[in-house]
């Protein structure tokens, strides 16, 4: 049995809904009215996307040796010398 792991990102959008996408699966995007709905929609989108890749005989890209970080900056750090 093969296992596939993908990093997903969900962010609020300007319409008050949520946009979710999978960086390793180009074009794999979805939306939802809540984070939970977007997570469920992402699961469906990933399954359909990967099934299509397999059906077309293409390699399924996977997350390998990925490193993700979130960095925080203070106002002071972001001030440029004038």
Which pTM was predicted? 0.78
Number of H helices, E strands in the chain: 2, 3
Range of 27's domain?
A: 9-64
CATH code, 46: 3.30.160.250
Residue 3 within a domain: no
Residue 36 vs residue 64, higher pLDDT: 36
- Angstrom distance (rounded) from CA 30 to CA 6: 15
Please give the average per-residue pLDDT across 7-25, as a whole number. Answer: 95
| Rounded-to-integer distance, Cα 29 and Cα 12, Å | 13
Whether 42 is in a domain gets the answer: yes
pLDDT for 4 equals 87
- Does 69 fall in a domain? no
* Whole-number pLDDT of residue 82: 54
In a domain, 57, yes or no: yes
Task: Using pLDDT thresholds of 50, 70 and 90, give the confidence band for residue 78.
Answer: confident
* Tally of domains in the chain: 1
The average confidence (pLDDT) of the chain is 91
């Amino acid at each position: 049995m093969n296992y596939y792991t993908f990093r997903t990102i969900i962010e609020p959008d300007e319409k008050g809904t949520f946009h979710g996408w999978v960086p390793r699966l180009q074009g794999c995007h979805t939306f939802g009215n809540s984070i939970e709905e977007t997570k469920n929609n992402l699961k469906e989108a990933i399954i359909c996307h990967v099934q299509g890749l397999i059906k077309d005989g293409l390699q399924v890209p996977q997350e390998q040796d990925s490193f993700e970080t979130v960095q925080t900056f203070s106002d002071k750090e972001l001030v440029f010398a004038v």
